[in-house]
């Protein structure tokens, strides 16, 4: 077995595992009991993380899954952040740098309170995506993830609203005009998976955010 030592080697290993990580999230979510319409974000994330860990072990996938991880080394000037779900590579000799991980930031969308719907797209962008773009999260890697819990089941509407908020803030998000969500290159078979490209300051390679929009209403069999 070859030894992975340099940070670039671990980053490349992490990127090779990305499709498996994203597919694991989609598969596990499908099997969770629903609806989640009255659940808080942290409660849903904790349930999801427990199921992810169990399925990761069954599938013998070479990465750890941790929840509510504190990012101790953000970019200069950025506050410490709390990663909702972090995937960290393992299974090979040598220890990866602690800054090398795939973060999945979770947000509720289409929240209905007292019959009034709050879309949540603005929060998804400002307090989710922006944390990757400004280097508060994932400053040492080239990929990050957003997971939208669509509480009313209107996934198409949630995607439209999020994209509208992205377009209104595409300059701050370091995106080319008009600021669009592209079909996922990692999960081409998932029609609701998206990705966005960002030119983070001082970086020559695009930072890519993978977006998973999940129906939190549909009852499982």
> CA angle 86-90-92, nearest 5°?
165
Whether omega before 35 lies within 30 degrees of 0, making that bond cis, reads yes
Q: Render pLDDT for 165-194 as a digit per residue (tens, 0 to 9).
A: 999 999 999 999 999 999 999 999 999 999
Higher pLDDT, 221 or 107: 107
| Mean pLDDT value across residues 97-102 | 82
Which pLDDT score is estimated for 95?
52
| Mean pLDDT value across residues 4-10 | 66
Spatial separation of the C-alpha atoms in residues 144 and 167, rounded to whole Å: 19
- Which of 57, 58, 62, 53 has its CA nearest to residue 88? 62
Query: What is the dihedral angle through the alpha carbons of 118, 155, 36, 148, rounded to the nearest 10 degrees?
Result: -80
Based on the number of CB atoms within 10 Å of its own CB, is 109 exposed (0-12), middle (13-18) or buried (19 or more)?
buried
Whether omega before 189 lies within 30 degrees of 0, making that bond cis, reads no
Cα-based distances in Å from 62 to 17, 58, 59: 8, 11, 9
- 1 pLDDT exceeds 50? no
- Token pair listed for 44: 């849903």
pTM listed for this prediction = 0.90
Which pLDDT score is estimated for 74?
52
| Mean pLDDT value across residues 116-145 | 94
DSSP letters, 132-171, are HHTTSS-TTSSEEEEEEEETTS-HHHHHHHHHHHHHHTTT
Q: Taking the CB of residue 153, how many other CB atoms lie within 10 A of it?
A: 17
Spatial separation of the C-alpha atoms in residues 35 and 40, rounded to whole Å: 12
Which pLDDT score is estimated for 2?
44
Higher pLDDT, 68 or 52: 52
- 136 pLDDT exceeds 80? yes
Spatial separation of the C-alpha atoms in residues 180 and 169, rounded to whole Å: 11
CB 144 within 8 A of CB 186: no
How does strand 116-118 pair with strand 111-113?
A: antiparallel
DSSP letters, 161-185, are HHHHHHHHTTTTTT--TT--PEEPS
Which pLDDT score is estimated for 3?
43
Q: Does domain 7-215 have CATH number 2.115.10?
A: no
Spatial separation of the C-alpha atoms in residues 208 and 129, rounded to whole Å: 10
């Amino acid at each position: 077995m070859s030894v992975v030592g340099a940070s670039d080697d671990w980053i490349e290993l992490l990127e090779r595992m990305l499709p498996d990580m994203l597919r694991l999230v989609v598969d596990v979510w499908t099997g969770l009991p629903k609806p989640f319409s009255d659940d808080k974000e942290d409660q849903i994330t904790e349930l999801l993380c427990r199921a992810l860990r169990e399925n990761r072990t069954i599938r013998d996938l070479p990465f750890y899954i941790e929840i509510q991880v504190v990012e101790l080394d953000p970019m200069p000037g950025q506050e410490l952040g709390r990663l909702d779900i972090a995937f960290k590579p393992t299974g090979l000799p040598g220890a990866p740098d602690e800054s090398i991980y795939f973060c999945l930031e979770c947000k509720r969308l289409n929240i209905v309170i007292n019959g009034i719907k709050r879309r949540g797209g603005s929060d998804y962008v400002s307090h989710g995506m922006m944390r990757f773009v400004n280097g508060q999260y994932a400053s040492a890697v080239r990929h990050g993830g957003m997971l939208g819990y669509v509480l009313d089941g209107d996934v198409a509407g949630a995607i439209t609203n999020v994209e509208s908020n992205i377009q209104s803030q595409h300059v701050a998000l370091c995106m080319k005009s008009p600021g669009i969500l592209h079909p996922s290159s990692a999960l081409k078979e998932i029609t609701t998976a998206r990705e966005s490209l960002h030119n983070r300051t001082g970086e020559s390679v695009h930072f890519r955010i993978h977006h998973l929009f999940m129906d939190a209403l549909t009852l499982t069999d």
